[in-house]
Amino acid sequence: ENEAYFRDITGGFTVVTTLNAKMQAYAEQALNTTLTDNVMQNANVAQVALVALAPDGAVQAMIGGRDYAASQFDRVTAAKRQPGSAFKAFVYLTALEHGLTPDSVREDKPIKIKGWQPENYGHEYFGPVTLTKALAMSLNTVSVRLTMELTPAAVIRTAYRLGIASKLEPNASIALGTSEVSM
């Protein structure tokens, strides 16, 4: 389907990538070691996916499945899943870009939005906390409060600007990574 791009090229061309062959080999070795572990075999793990990034975001290694011969579906680029608390990074970056600081304080206490009551993992609340502490402890209620304060649309704009391409739903639960994204 992309042959039209290359049809008129003569003399060859060079492809430049950020993939690191050594890191790719390590990733494949780690994956094979993990999948041959008895615990993993007993868990009947059918497929896997892995992406390793450099600090600047460049893709260093990528594995889209357990066995290409068994399945050509690329679980890195095509599979969608909820990012969960990993999405909170977008919430806190949005907060910082809107003038809050790591020392800004928000309440960690129960919250209810249109009948939805998100809770912290341990069902424990800590009262006034800095954004630093809230992020370090992955406090759901603070993330939701920030999202509602800044607007879900603002958080989504941050996520899109940083490379998320999936459709994200502009609701309070976006704070907890409920919209599906690819790796």
What is the reported pLDDT for 18? 96
Q: What is the pTM of this model?
A: 0.78
25-66 pLDDT, tens digit each: 999 999 888 888 766 677 777 788 999 999 998 999 999 998
Least confident segment among 28-37, 118-127, 169-178: 28-37
What's the pLDDT at 14?
Answer: 85
3-state secondary structure 4-26: HHHCCCCCCCCCCCCCCHHHHHH
Is the dihedral angle over the CA atoms 150, 153, 155, 158 positive or is it negative? negative
